[in-house]
Amino acid sequence: MSLRIRTAQLNFVVGDLSGNAAKILDAARIAHADGIDLLLTPELSICGYAAEDLFLRPGFVAACVDAVERLAVQLAEFDGLTVVVGHPVGGDDRSRSVTRSRRFNAASVLRGGQIAHRYAKRELPNYQVFDERRYFVGGDAPCVFEAGTGEHRMRVGLLICEDAWHDYPANESLAAGAELLAVINASPFHVGKGGEREAAMRERVKATGLPLVYAHLVGGQDEVVFEGRSFALDAQGATVARAVGFRECDFDVALSRSAANGWVVRGVVEPQADADADLWDALVLGVRDYVGKNGFPGVLIGLSGGIDSALVLAIAVDALGAERVRAVMMPSPYTADISWIDARDMASRLRVRYDEISILPEFEAFKQSLMPLFEGRGEDATEENLQARIRGTMLMALSNKFGSIVLTTGNKSEMATGYCTLYGDMAGGFAVIKDLVKTTVFRLARWRNAHDPYGRGRNPIPERIIVRPPSAELRPDQKDQDSLPPYEVLDAILERYMEQDQGIDALVAQGFAPADVEKVTRLIKINEYKRRQAPVGIRVTHRSFGKDWRYPITNRFRA
**Strand locations in 30-148, DSSP E?**
38-40, 82-90, 103-111, 114-120, 144-147
pLDDT tens, position by position, 403-457: 999 999 999 999 999 999 999 999 999 999 999 999 999 999 999 999 999 999 9
Class at the top of the CATH hierarchy for domain 3-272: alpha beta
Residue 151 pLDDT grade (very low, low, confident, very high; cuts 50, 70, 90):
confident
pLDDT at 328 over 60: yes
Strand-strand pairing, 218-221 and 405-408: unpaired
Q: Are 539 and 224 spatial neighbours (Cβ–Cβ below 8 Å)? A: yes
pLDDT at 333: 87
Name residue 117's beta-bridge partners: 109
Residue 101 pLDDT grade (very low, low, confident, very high; cuts 50, 70, 90):
low
pLDDT at 163 over 90: yes
pLDDT at 499 over 90: yes
pLDDT at 262 over 80: no
pLDDT at 100: 38
Residue 476 pLDDT grade (very low, low, confident, very high; cuts 50, 70, 90):
low
Give the whole-angstrom CA distance, residue 91 versus residue 55: 9
pLDDT at 92: 53
Q: Lowest-pLDDT range, 92-96, 190-194, 371-375?
A: 92-96
Q: What does the radius of gyration of the chain's CA atoms come to, in whole angstroms?
A: 26
pLDDT at 466 over 90: yes
pLDDT at 300 over 60: yes
Residues 286-318 as b or e (16 or more Cβ within 10 Å = b): bbbbbbebeebebbbbbbbbbbbbbbbbbbbbb
pLDDT at 95 over 50: no
Q: Lowest-pLDDT range, 80-84, 402-406, 477-481?
A: 477-481
As a whole number, the mean pLDDT across the chain is: 93
Q: Are 540 and 220 spatial neighbours (Cβ–Cβ below 8 Å)? A: no
Q: What mean pLDDT is predicted for residues 134-150?
A: 93
pLDDT at 469 over 90: no
CATH 3.40.190.10 is right for the domain spanning 277-479+527-531: no
Q: What mean pLDDT is predicted for residues 469-487?
A: 69
pLDDT at 94: 46
pLDDT at 337: 85
> Which residue, 515, 470, 523, is CA-closest to 494?
523
pLDDT at 286 over 90: yes
pLDDT tens, position by position, 344-397: 999 999 999 999 999 999 999 999 999 999 999 999 999 999 999 999 999 999
pLDDT at 96 over 60: no
pLDDT at 472: 60
Residue 478 pLDDT grade (very low, low, confident, very high; cuts 50, 70, 90):
low
Name residue 216's beta-bridge partners: 185
Q: Is 517 helix (H, G, I), strand (E, B) or coil?
A: helix
Which amino acids are annotated catalytic?
Answer: 43, 121, 161
pLDDT at 483: 73
**In the chain, what is the straight-line distance between the N-terminal and C-terminal CA atoms, in Å?**
64
Residue 471 pLDDT grade (very low, low, confident, very high; cuts 50, 70, 90):
low
pLDDT at 494: 96
